[in-house]
Structure 1
């Protein structure tokens, strides 16, 4: 059976200060073939990531000693392990804070075991698919912007800037379809998966992150242009 399940044996770190929640998540994920390890707070989570090397982290926001947002910020200084944040609040500011800190996804409590499992699988698929993007020479967009496909970095006015994995995938698909309009639904499916095809707010957040790194004026973008009610277009000069 494990041969038919590509996620069998994937190690998931569950971080929550409520033992019952950890048990609830653990039992259901193990039924789906995952290996589950646990941590009761943010400090323990940082230690587990270093010593247990999980494939993905599911982390609650509200925890004692160190909350999930702070733990995620510290985690991102040493690891790119994908992280799904859990919270009881479904508010845009919380989502923005989670994604700004480096979260790969965000799930509001209460949730069903199937929903969490599907989100985990979607994130793991995105991470694995990122490795098949072919290397290429540095692409010169114009005198101000270059894109390094080998290092997944952008070079803005001579300065190299690192992109998070999700930011890179989004930029990659926009550039691969330069000067063509990509619908929001198409971008969401290509970058995040079919489960996210209607999450337009998620796409807007990451478009804003990309613009903050490559645009000279985010209010008047020259590279990533919004096509209202349709999607986005990466503008590549014709010369």
Structure 2
């Protein structure tokens, strides 16, 4: 099955250049000249990845990325002409997976697309995550540690599953809320702290396969025990 890539840029030359290059790589490419057009296209076509320019009329790349995140589980690469750290921060806050500063080589974009598609493919396949003697199964919603099976409340399960799927990565409370509770969550960051505390209390006496560390001023990270 052919992989569909959406390219969103108000520069027709960039659209055409990337379409030619990515088509040679075997992708089916769909073009949109702004964010509104991109959202319309995503409703009609099933795309596996989006390449989004930051500076666009009607709906900029940051806002478009947020909207894609709300509705679709596909990776997003942001393109920008600026190399400002603030833009990168805003891009990652919006939910982008990767960032590329113009001008760039089309070949570099190809590498990044391949890497992201691999990452998302493996994430989709891995309904069971194992750390040491502990496994967490997204299909049965069970956690198995040694010979014991634990059934967690839904949000605790989803929080633990996300952290176990991404060990050693540090996630802010905002990112965890986004991932587990969704963008329309109306509570505050303390909800994350309460759920982390409950998970720690449940597993501290059951296993030392993993620990959820507090990274001061940032958020949380799950560390696996070194064998």
Same fold (TM over 0.5): yes
Report deviation, 1:80. 1.6
Partner of 2:213: 224
Contact between 1:154 and 1:214, CA under 8 Å: does it hold in 2? no
2:96 paired with 1:103: yes
2:80 paired with 1:87: yes
Matches within 5 A, 1:1-239: 9-133=2-126, 134=128, 135=137, 137-139=141-143, 154-155=155-156, 168=162, 171-174=164-167, 206=171, 209-210=175-176, 214-215=192-193, 223-225=212-214, 234=223
Task: Count residues in correspondence.
Answer: 180
Report deviation, 1:66. 0.9
CA RMSD of aligned residues (A): 3.7
Report deviation, 1:95. 1.9
Contact between 2:77 and 2:100, CA under 8 Å: does it hold in 1? yes
Q: Deviations over 1:125-166 (max 9, x none)?
A: 01110122222544499xxxx997xx9x742xxxx8679xxx
Partner of 1:178: none
Contact between 1:225 and 1:234, CA under 8 Å: does it hold in 2? no
Unaligned 5+ residue runs, structure 1? 1-7, 175-181, 183-202, 227-231
> SS at 1:76's partner residue?
helix
Measure the CA separation in 1 of the matches of 2:155 and 2:223.
14
Query: Which has the greater radius of gyration?
Result: 2
Alignment TM-score, normalising by the size of structure 1: 0.62
Unaligned 5+ residue runs, structure 2? 129-136, 178-188, 197-210, 216-220
Return closer, same or farther for 1:154/1:139 CA change in 2, 3 Å cut-off. farther
Q: Deviations over 1:91-132 (max 9, x none)?
A: 332222222222121111111111100100111001110122
> SS at 2:79's partner residue?
strand
Measure the CA separation in 1 of the matches of 2:73 and 2:151.
21
Contact between 1:147 and 1:154, CA under 8 Å: does it hold in 2? no
Contact between 1:15 and 1:41, CA under 8 Å: does it hold in 2? yes
